[in-house]
């Protein structure tokens, strides 16, 4: 507590007009415990506990140059939450009570803080449709008062013991004389976006709209809200993916005379370690993929007018990671001596997909593995991820889980039906005769279970897949069409899956 008092001693403190007699020194004298809720280079959130109540101290440090420029060019941003909390109190919308603010100017950019009283209660669990109805009604109430919250999520709404909903963290809140329908849909889409992980998000969306439209002057369309939620999801994917090329909580930019690139903060290699790895690494796939001390290194010489395949792999690894698609954990991307290197963890006890599937002899185990692979590929395509070289040698298996490797051929884009069929054909052509025709038909049955195509549609897809498969070099994967068909004839004509 003494350290915090000394740190805030140089601040110019202003009490809230709601409590003009409030003194920061008096509060600190009553504090019994301190808990740091969040801490990074830019911000600290500290919880202060007294015998009667709790308080939150949000301390912001303007240490980065872009933060100082942002607050210099947009000075109103510094105290936006302070003003919003007072205005919410004025219009009688339940919110956290502001107590004091303070700021300090210094040679290293200065700092400022905001002190609020803890709101008794807990965040909504949002585990029932009744919660969705309540949130819809509450959002309709905010919009009717001209309040637009640009960062409304489950952590910003508290349910008090009296059954009232209360707002906290109102930095992105704006008061408007009239909220247009586009912003209403945007707000509802952001709420719905947080619940895509639920088992039944569509029913949750209907209950949310039902609560919102109960008192709203103009009804909103469910399809428009769902599309807004999908846009929020895509924006989140893009934002999280780009962090691998910025200084962030997980990643850091590396730039020196010896090397340059990006890496995870937990990866501790030096340029000397990388040089030793390039010299002493054991080959895994030709000479351009090597292993060394528990990591896998993909290396390519940099060439003018050629894409950097290692940089593409680094970006795609992060893009797949944020979409929930399993890949070996990426550790860093570096350029050293005009050689680009992409470093990932080395999977222990790994097998290539063809080797793994060919080793399965028990029927139930093989069907379980095929179903898991089919659902994994379905998730791959549903996330608009396309691998132009989708063959079994680019899929690793570890303890029954599948990992995509060789990521320089991965693209994030809208997939046509031809793209999906082409991926199915590439996979079909790169597994051995150990996977029978019936197993291959069963795989597509698992893959298409969600949209349930007709028999004619399934047969049309089968023909296209096999037509493309016949154009591939299948010998290297121990796939022979004549033997495959002969083995199916010996089993019998029963093609029931």
> Which tens digits make up the pLDDT trace of 278-290?
999 999 988 899 9
Query: Read out DSSP for 363-377?
Result: HHHHHHHHHHHHHHH
> pLDDT tens-digit profile of 344-370?
999 988 899 999 999 988 889 999 999
- CA separation, residue 134 to residues 149, 154, 353 (Å): 17, 13, 48
496 is a domain residue: no
Lowest mean pLDDT among 2-6, 111-115, 352-356, 377-381: 2-6
The residue among 81 and 480 whose pLDDT is bigger is 81
Asked if 479 and 367 sit in the same domain, the reply is yes
> What pLDDT band is residue 493 in, cutting at 50, 70 and 90?
low
- The whole-number pLDDT of residue 195 equals 61
497 is a domain residue: no
Asked if 202 and 260 sit in the same domain, the reply is no
333 is a domain residue: yes
What span, in angstroms and rounded, lies between the C-alpha atoms of 325 and 329? 11
Asked if 113 and 126 sit in the same domain, the reply is no
* Last residue of one domain, picked from the residues 345, 361, 396: 345
Task: Report whether pLDDT(497) > 50.
Answer: no
What span, in angstroms and rounded, lies between the C-alpha atoms of 110 and 70? 13
Task: Report whether pLDDT(41) > 90.
Answer: no
Lowest mean pLDDT among 43-47, 215-219, 242-246, 383-387: 215-219
Asked if 359 and 476 sit in the same domain, the reply is yes
> pLDDT tens-digit profile of 158-187?
888 888 889 988 988 999 998 888 889 988
- The whole-number pLDDT of residue 108 equals 57
Average pLDDT over residues 46-69: 87
The whole domain housing 228 covers 122-237
Task: Report whether pLDDT(427) > 50.
Answer: yes
The residue among 2 and 229 whose pLDDT is bigger is 229
What span, in angstroms and rounded, lies between the C-alpha atoms of 361 and 375? 21
The residue among 455 and 403 whose pLDDT is bigger is 403
What is the dihedral sign for C-alpha 269, 270, 274, 279?
A: negative
> What pLDDT band is residue 488 in, cutting at 50, 70 and 90?
low
Contact indicator for 125, 166 with CB cutoff of 8 Å: no
Average pLDDT over residues 434-459: 89
Asked if 327 and 402 sit in the same domain, the reply is no
Instruction: Tell me if residue 279 falls in helix, strand or coil.
Output: helix
Q: How many domains does the chain have?
A: 4
* Last residue of one domain, picked from the residues 203, 237, 271: 237
Task: Report whether pLDDT(107) > 60.
Answer: no
Asked if 18 and 93 sit in the same domain, the reply is yes
What span, in angstroms and rounded, lies between the C-alpha atoms of 419 and 413? 11
Asked if 217 and 259 sit in the same domain, the reply is no
Contact indicator for 165, 159 with CB cutoff of 8 Å: yes
Task: Report whether pLDDT(491) > 80.
Answer: no
- The whole-number pLDDT of residue 496 equals 47
Asked if 86 and 132 sit in the same domain, the reply is no
- The whole-number pLDDT of residue 66 equals 78
We report the CATH number of the domain holding residue 472 as 1.10.510
We report the CATH number of the domain holding residue 179 as 1.10.510.10
pLDDT averaged over every residue in the chain:
88
What span, in angstroms and rounded, lies between the C-alpha atoms of 141 and 381? 39
> What pLDDT band is residue 304 in, cutting at 50, 70 and 90?
confident
Give Cβ neighbours of residue 194 (< 8 Å, ≥ 6 apart). 126, 153, 154
- Which residue intervals of 246-362 are DSSP H helices? 271-280, 309-322, 353-358
> pLDDT tens-digit profile of 180-229?
888 899 888 888 887 655 556 677 788 888 888 887 777 888 888 888 88
Average pLDDT over residues 50-70: 86
Average pLDDT over residues 451-464: 88
Give Cβ neighbours of residue 449 (< 8 Å, ≥ 6 apart). none
* Last residue of one domain, picked from the residues 313, 345, 377: 345
Task: Report whether pLDDT(421) > 90.
Answer: yes
Asked if 325 and 407 sit in the same domain, the reply is no
Asked if 229 and 152 sit in the same domain, the reply is yes
Neighbour tally for 447: CB within 10 Å? 21
């Amino acid at each position: 507590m003494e350290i915090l008092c000394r740190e805030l001693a140089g601040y110019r403190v202003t009490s809230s007009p709601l409590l003009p007699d409030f003194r920061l020194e008096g509060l600190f004298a009553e504090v019994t415990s301190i808990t740091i809720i969040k801490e990074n280079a830019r911000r600290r959130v500290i919880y202060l506990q007294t015998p009667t109540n709790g308080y939150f101290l949000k301390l912001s440090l303007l240490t980065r140059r872009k933060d100082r420029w942002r607050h210099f060019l947009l000075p109103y941003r510094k105290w936006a939450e302070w003003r919003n909390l007072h205005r919410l109190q004025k219009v009688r919308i339940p919110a956290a009570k502001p107590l004091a603010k303070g700021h300090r100017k210094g040679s290293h950019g200065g700092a400022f803080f905001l002190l609020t009283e803890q709101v008794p209660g807990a965040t909504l669990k949002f585990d029932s449709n009744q919660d969705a109805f309540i949130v819809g009604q509450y959002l309709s109430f905010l919009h009717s008062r001209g309040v637009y919250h640009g960062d409304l999520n489950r952590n910003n709404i508290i349910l008090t013991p009296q059954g009232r909903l209360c707002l906290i963290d109102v930095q992105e809140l704006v008061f408007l004389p009239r909220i247009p329908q586009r912003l209403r849909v945007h707000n509802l889409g952001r709420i719905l976006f947080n619940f895509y992980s639920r088992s039944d998000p569509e029913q949750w969306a209907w209950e949310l709209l039902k609560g919102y439209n109960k008192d709203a002057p103009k009804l909103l369309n469910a399809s428009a809200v769902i599309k807004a939620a999908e846009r929020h999801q895509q924006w989140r994917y893009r934002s999280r993916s780009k962090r691998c090329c910025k200084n962030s909580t997980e990643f850091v930019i590396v730039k020196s005379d010896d090397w340059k690139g990006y890496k995870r903060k937990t990866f501790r290699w030096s340029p000397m370690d990388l040089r030793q790895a390039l010299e002493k690494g054991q080959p895994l796939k030709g000479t351009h993929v090597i292993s060394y001390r528990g990591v896998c290194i993909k290396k390519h010489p940099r060439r003018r007018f050629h894409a950097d395949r290692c940089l593409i792999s680094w970006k795609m690894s992060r893009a797949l990671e944020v979409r929930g698609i399993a890949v070996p954990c990426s550790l860093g991307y570096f350029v050293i001596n005009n050689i680009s290197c992409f470093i990932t963890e080395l999977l222990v006890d790994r097998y290539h997909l063809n080797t793994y599937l060919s080793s399965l002899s028990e029927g139930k185990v093989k069907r379980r593995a095929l179903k898991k692979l089919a659902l994994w590929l379905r998730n791959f395509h549903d996330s608009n991820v396309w691998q132009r070289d989708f063959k079994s040698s680019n899929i690793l298996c570890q303890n029954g889980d599948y990992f995509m490797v060789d990521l320089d051929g991965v693209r994030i884009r809208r997939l046509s039906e031809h793209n999906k069929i082409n991926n199915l054909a590439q996979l079909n052509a790169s597994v051995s005769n150990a996977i029978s025709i019936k197993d291959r038909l069963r795989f597509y049955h698992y893959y298409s279970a969600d949209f349930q195509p007709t028999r004619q549609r399934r047969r049309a897809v089968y023909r296209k897949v096999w037509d493309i498969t016949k154009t591939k070099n299948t010998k290297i994967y121990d796939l022979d069409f004549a033997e495959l068909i002969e083995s199916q004839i010996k089993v019998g004509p029963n093609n029931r899956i």
